């Protein structure tokens, strides 16, 4: 699943790079470099936590969680979950699946809210 995690990280980075209304190319590149260096992940027993920088501190805010087990009673391995807090995802609905390549419900800010 390392390949799919890297694809998700690349997707998040590309979404951020295309988001801003940049007027100065040097500022744009600094912002993109800062965002990219603050993005990371940590593998846990049940979930992979995707983190991003907050206020310049790398990996200090939770972007979302990826299900990392095959035996979850509600979700499939690779499902993207919205964060409920620093160490816990919401368990109401998946926002996509990295194994299936379904990233429609995610942006650089995180998995989508439910509507």
Average pLDDT for runs of 10 along the chain of length 115:
95 92 85 92 96 81 96 97 94 95 91 77
pLDDT recorded at residue 24: 86
pTM of the full structure: 0.90
pLDDT recorded at residue 21: 78
pLDDT recorded at residue 115: 52
pLDDT recorded at residue 59: 75
Q: Three-state DSSP class for 4? A: helix
Question: What residues does 89 pair with on adjacent strands?
Answer: 83
pLDDT recorded at residue 58: 73
Q: Say which DSSP state 99 is in.
A: T
pLDDT recorded at residue 82: 95
Residues 9 and 6: their CA atoms lie apart, in Å, by: 5
pLDDT recorded at residue 113: 81
Q: How far is CA 84 from the centre of its chain?
A: 14
Q: b/e for 42-62, b at 16 or more Cβ within 10 A? A: eeeeebbbbbbbeeeeebeeb
* Count helices and strands in the chain by DSSP H and E runs: 2, 6
Residues 101 and 26: their CA atoms lie apart, in Å, by: 33
Q: b/e for 64-73, b at 16 or more Cβ within 10 A? A: bbbbbeeeee
pLDDT recorded at residue 55: 73
pLDDT recorded at residue 7: 96
Question: What residues does 19 pair with on adjacent strands?
Answer: none
């Amino acid at each position: 699943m390392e390949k799919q995690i890297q694809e998700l990280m690349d997707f998040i980075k590309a979404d951020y790079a295309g988001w801003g209304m940049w007027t100065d190319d040097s500022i744009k590149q600094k912002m993109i470099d800062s965002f990219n260096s603050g993005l990371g992940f940590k593998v846990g027993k049940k979930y992979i936590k995707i983190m991003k920088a907050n206020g310049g501190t790398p990996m200090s805010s939770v972007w979302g969680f990826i299900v990392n087990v095959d035996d979850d009673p509600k979700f499939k391995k690779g499902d993207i979950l919205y964060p409920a807090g620093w160490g816990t995802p919401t368990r109401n609905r998946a926002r996509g699946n990295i194994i299936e390549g379904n990233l429609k419900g995610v942006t650089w800010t995180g998995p989508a809210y439910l509507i």
